[in-house]
Amino acid sequence: MSTQWTAPGATGGDDASATPEGDPASTGTGPVEPSGPAPRGGPRRELVQSMPLFPLRPLGLGEILGAAVRIYRLRARSVLGVAAAVYGVAFVITTFATGASMVPIIGDMQAVMEDPQAEVAGLDSLADAAVLISSTALTLVVTLVAAALVTVALTRVALGEAVGRPVPTEEMWATMRRRGLPAVVVSLLIGLLGTVLFAVPFVLGMLPLVLLQEASVLTIVLLVLGLVVGVLAAIWLWARTVLAVPALVIEDTTVLGALRRSFGMTRGRRFWRVLGIALLVYVLYSVAMQVIAGVFGTLATILYLAILLASSFEAIVLGMAVLTILSMLGSYAASFLLAPFLSAGIVAVYADNRMRHEAWDVELTRRAREAWDEGVAR
């Protein structure tokens, strides 16, 4: 989409040193550098690519994944700092929630240690079950909120890096404060709708088994069918709304406007490309999360067994506490380390969709040229 361009004050297009049309040096856009010495007829500079976050044209799969990785090289300190701070607050909240849900279990374990013949209620108690369910729900909500806030900040950073206008850290935080609450509402609405879409067919599929109280071929098939339909419905909604937060930040729209915009950008055949690439980005993110969390989980298990062996299996409560804390630390580390990958990947999917179907690369190229002009003027 980009064409040869000469800065103001440059020589005419007949200059022998002009880059030929179609030359690779003339096809890039983004942050720019002077291209070689100035010719004898006067100063001349070419708009050439110096590795922005992604090229300003419809993107391939490799370029979208490359953007998800390149954000670390371009702005590692800023993006990791924001992710660490936001997920750090979320980690403290979820730690207290998890601790509260484990109090009954730890109490039962301590009672059994003191009196092996003692009877414990465990999770048969309605109050204990309510605490466990509440802590789980709180953890999910806090995770959604943290992910939304980080995505807002990183969306702003990613767009700036794409057009050669690096966003200062203070502006990144300002964007989060300004658009954070609407993004949280968008994420919570998507989570609520996704839960409903999953639960309705799953409950309907489970209903015959509950009513008949018999695990026959028919009831099992209906249960599995309800589960599959529920999962597919939740994935469909996720793919239709995955571009809502980038649209909210970049287009400065409302909550409902962002949801409508995402549905509009994924209608028809556009849906399948967004679904495939966004799902691949999320699968890679999830696998990397499991690898990092698995390292901490392995260390936690080793320490847990070491504590049990060193105490002749008497320090079970201490071992459980160490196991839980290290496992949660692993989840926290994986979350903030990989948040930039997921956010930059989704922003690249959003940009590819708009450049592919709305010629947004024309607007982005104009912004890149303006940023280049400002750099030359300074």
CB under 8 Å to 184, separation ≥6 — which residues?
A: 144, 145, 148, 149
Amino acid at 106: I
CB under 8 Å to 240, separation ≥6 — which residues?
A: 262, 263, 266, 271
pLDDT by position in tens, the chain (length 378)? 444 444 444 444 444 333 334 443 334 444 444 444 444 444 443 344 455 789 999 999 999 999 999 999 988 999 999 999 999 998 888 877 776 666 555 555 555 555 555 555 544 556 666 766 777 788 888 888 999 999 999 998 988 888 888 888 888 899 999 999 999 999 999 999 999 999 999 999 999 888 888 888 888 999 999 999 999 999 999 999 999 999 999 999 999 999 999 999 999 999 999 999 999 999 999 999 999 999 999 999 999 899 988 888 777 778 888 888 898 899 899 999 999 999 999 999 999 999 999 999 999 999 889 888 776 655
Distance CA 306, CA 329 (A): 19
Strands (E), the chain: none
CB under 8 Å to 79, separation ≥6 — which residues?
A: 71, 72, 153, 154, 157, 339, 340
Distance CA 350, CA 124 (A): 48
Distance CA 338, CA 83 (A): 9
Domain ranges in the chain? Answer: 51-377
Indicate the pTM of the whole model. 0.78
Distance (Å) of CA 17 to CA 3, 32, 38, 39, 257: 16, 18, 10, 7, 49
